[in-house]
């Protein structure tokens, strides 16, 4: 049984690090780490972070009811959409939601109830088999490194060959791009009014916090190096609409370098400060 629908607004800040890895390659730049060309700060897109959350939910819930994932690798969205019509015994019209308002709501409700990522992030399901469009309660901004990054290009060799005729040839040379070290800050938002529309619950939110903390532990690869969530700061409001502007809450959390004479190479090179003294009334700060 699902817990009650979320009835409080939240914001959050996630600090995560990368060591000798590429946290989010840019296909338009030869898969180099994404970077702000004006500041040289590293970037990780909201889409990349949502993908890691989806992957964690998929592993943690293992196809449990209400926790299926809609946007997954090799998914055929029209087939998933068609299952909603079959379940509700409604005949789909090409590219259109049912004209009957109640039937349209049934289709959208089914998709939200079945798929965690639709409840959380929303989805555009207006494909050939139309299940509507849902705006999710959770949104991320781009993560940004606290300091400029200097991506490095590392040469690697492949000792094996694909074909027997190439057995005597010299081994193939390749390259990979890494960031020696960077601490990233990602900011996000959770809307209670939008949670009410999708049925996003308190249990769903608790699972989301767990995903943010643990998602990198199940996403290791040679390309991404060592990535870890380091600190999650949550701002819980007392009301659905909130008790303070998000930007004022984000400004309460600052980070300083412990030694500016050398480049950062570990989380211990930074100190995270939370200004509890200027915390607005009606807001609780939770650190995980």
pLDDT digits over 265-282, tens only? 999 999 999 999 999 999
For residue 148, list its beta bridge partners.
41
Q: How far apart are CA 184 and CA 174, in angstroms?
A: 28
Residue of 238, 259, 237 lying closest to 246 (CA atoms): 237
Q: Is the pTM of this model over 0.75?
A: yes
Per-residue pLDDT at 2 exceeds 80: no
Compute the average pLDDT of residues 60-82.
92
Per-residue pLDDT at 162 exceeds 80: no
Name the token pair of 44: 């990780």
């Amino acid at each position: 049984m699902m817990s009650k629908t979320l009835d409080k607004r939240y914001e959050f800040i996630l600090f995560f690090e990368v060591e000798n890895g590429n946290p989010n390659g840019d296909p338009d730049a030869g898969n180099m780490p994404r970077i702000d060309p004006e500041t040289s700060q590293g970037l990780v897109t909201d889409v990349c972070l949502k993908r890691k959350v989806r992957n964690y939910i998929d592993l943690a819930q293992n196809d449990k009811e209400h926790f299926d994932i809609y946007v997954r690798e090799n998914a055929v969205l029209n087939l998933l959409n068609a299952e909603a019509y079959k379940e509700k015994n409604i005949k789909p019209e090409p590219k259109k939601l049912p004209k009957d308002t109640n039937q349209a709501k049934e289709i959208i409700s089914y998709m939200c109830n079945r798929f965690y990522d639709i409840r959380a992030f929303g989805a555009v399901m207006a494909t050939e088999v139309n299940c509507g469009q849902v705006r999710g309660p959770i949104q991320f901004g781009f993560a940004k490194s606290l300091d400029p990054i200097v991506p490095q290009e590392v040469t690697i060799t492949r000792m094996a060959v694909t074909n027997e005729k190439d057995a005597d040839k010299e081994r193939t040379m390749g390259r990979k791009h890494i960031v020696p070290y960077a601490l990233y800050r990602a900011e996000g938002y959770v809307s209670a009014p939008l949670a009410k529309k999708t049925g996003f619950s308190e249990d769903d939110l608790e699972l989301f916090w767990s995903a943010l903390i643990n998602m990198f532990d199940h996403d290791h690869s040679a390309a991404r190096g060592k990535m870890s969530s380091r600190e999650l700061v949550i701002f819980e409001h007392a009301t659905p609409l909130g008790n303070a502007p998000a930007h004022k809450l984000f400004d309460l959390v600052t980070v300083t370098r412990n030694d500016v004479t050398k480049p950062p190479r570990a989380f211990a090179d930074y100190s995270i400060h939370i200004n509890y003294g200027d915390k607005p009334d009606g807001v609780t700060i939770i650190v995980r």
